[in-house]
Amino acid sequence: MVLDSGDTAFIIICTALVLLMAPGVGLFYGGLVRRKNLISMFALSFAALAIVSVQWILFGYSLAFGPDIGGLIGSLEYAGLQGVGLSGDGIPDLLFMVFQMMFAAVTLAIITSAVAERIKLSSFIVFGLLWTTLVYDPLAHWVWGGGWMAGSGILDFAGGIVVHISAGWGALALALVIGKRAGFGQYSMEPHNIPLTLLGGALLWFGWFGFNAGSALAANGLAVNALIVTNTAAAAGTLAWMAASWINGKPSSIGMISGSIAGLGAVTPAAGFIDPIGALIIGAVSGIICYYALLWRLNRSLDESLDAWAIHGVGGVWGTVALGIFALSGIGGITGLIGGSSAQLALQAVGAVAAVAYAFAVTFMIAKAVDLTMGLRVTEDEEYVGLDISQHGESIYV
């Protein structure tokens, strides 16, 4: 139980990097909506950051990382950060707590994709609090807090299950409950500011270094490996999505940055177990399958508006499974299918399926409950004039 100043300094910086991903999501999404909803989209990410920051201190951290109850949830022993101290193994327990807090915050920000341009702010606050408590915290406990997934050997280095599957599949359920935007499918709803989306995506790529490398929880070789495979998968995803969309027309910059996020999401669970060549394949495959997932969603005219499902949900499943294929024993001590062992692949598949089912079902129930009690949607008029004016009393371009 000796503190390491290098590790501590590194994780403090990584915490700040991950924090920047919340406004990164806000910018990424904000550019994709119509201009009457940019402030709303950005503000939802800040709201997510604030809601989770408070919830995590009060009881979220304890539910996720408190002493295990039946493999399902943490106890409330650490509520209010009781007993979470300045000392720890390598880094202070308090630092681990705040690093994890940022993951929970970014995850809630990602799910706002599903409700873009039509959510009532007050309902989002209630939904967000319930969602992070009932979906995120249990999943974090299952995988990282000593729950049943950790017990059975299911692995998730930096959040393929906890962050990307939960936000992506949760977004799909939430979109089904809240319903389509008025006019969806009848007239075009083109992104109003593509450079904002590119800038937001760039901040995500940047923050992801803290997300994945920091998940080594030490400034060591594993962290460096995670950083390199993260960058590699992002680049491969960018090029793969670009190539796939080039076949159907011009390769858009939005497609490229979407491919980057697809690669980043997919490499997240595997970053501590694979080498750069594995990352190249994981990222490229993710770029292609996420692109086709997006086309499939559009063909089904599902209004999961900003594609958290197609990119984070599908990419997260692929990455979680791919860990079982490309893991190399020399990196994280796990041998995957390419090393001749299929045991981990089977475990990863079980983990992915269980997480998809849990995130989808519980999100659906929470969304229904909020919709029936206070209504998720704004009124027709409020949606028409835009959420910037109707929810915040502001507009961006006067």
Partner 1 sequence: MKKIEAIFRPEKRDKVKTALAENGFFAMTVSDVRGRGAQKGIQLQYRGKRMKVDLIPKIKIEMVIRDDDVPKVIGTIRAAARTGKYGDGRKFVLPVDQSAMVRTDEFVSD
Among 1, 86, 187, 330, which residue interacts with partner 1 (rule: CB under 8 A)?
Answer: 187
Question: Contacts with partner 1 in 267-296 (CB under 8 A)?
Answer: none
What is the Cα–Cα distance from 116 to 175, expressed in whole angstroms? 9
What is the x/- site pattern for partner 1, positions 358-387, by CB under 8 A?
---------------------x-xx-xx--
Whole-number Cα distances in Å, 109 to 42, 91, 321: 9, 27, 24
DSSP 186: T
Question: Contacts with partner 1 in 66-125 (CB under 8 A)?
Answer: none
Q: Is 393 exposed, middle or buried (0-12, 13-18, 19+ CB in 10 A)?
A: exposed
Using the minimum distance from each CB to partner 1, give the nearer residue, 355 or 387: 387
Among 70, 86, 188, 330, which residue interacts with partner 1 (rule: CB under 8 A)?
Answer: 188
Using the minimum distance from each CB to partner 1, give the nearer residue, 54 or 385: 385
Work out whether strand 73-74 and strand 68-69 pair parallel, antiparallel, or are unpaired: antiparallel
Contact between 183 and partner 1 by CB under 8 A: the answer reads: yes
What is the Cα–Cα distance from 11 to 92, expressed in whole angstroms? 10
Nearest distance in Å: CB 371, partner 1:
18
Nearest distance in Å: CB 36, partner 1:
7
Contact between 246 and partner 1 by CB under 8 A: the answer reads: no
Nearest distance in Å: CB 393, partner 1:
7
Using the minimum distance from each CB to partner 1, give the nearer residue, 5 or 190: 190
Among 79, 281, 389, 396, which residue interacts with partner 1 (rule: CB under 8 A)?
Answer: 389
Whole-number Cα distances in Å, 280 to 265, 349, 352, 387: 13, 21, 21, 40
Cβ proximity of 241 and 287 under 8 Å: yes
DSSP 311: I
Q: How many residues bind partner 1 (CB under 8 A)?
A: 13
What is the Cα–Cα distance from 342 to 335, expressed in whole angstroms? 8
Question: Contacts with partner 1 in 35-54 (CB under 8 A)?
Answer: 36
What is the Cα–Cα distance from 218 to 311, expressed in whole angstroms? 29
Which span (91-99, 156-164, 179-187, 227-235) binds partner 1, by CB under 8 A? Answer: 179-187
Count the Cβ atoms, other than its own, within 10 Å of residue 148.
16
Nearest distance in Å: CB 289, partner 1:
31
Element (H, E) at 69: strand 68-69
| Residue numbers at the binding site for partner 1 (CB under 8 A) | 36, 183, 186-188, 379, 381-382, 384-385, 389-390, 393
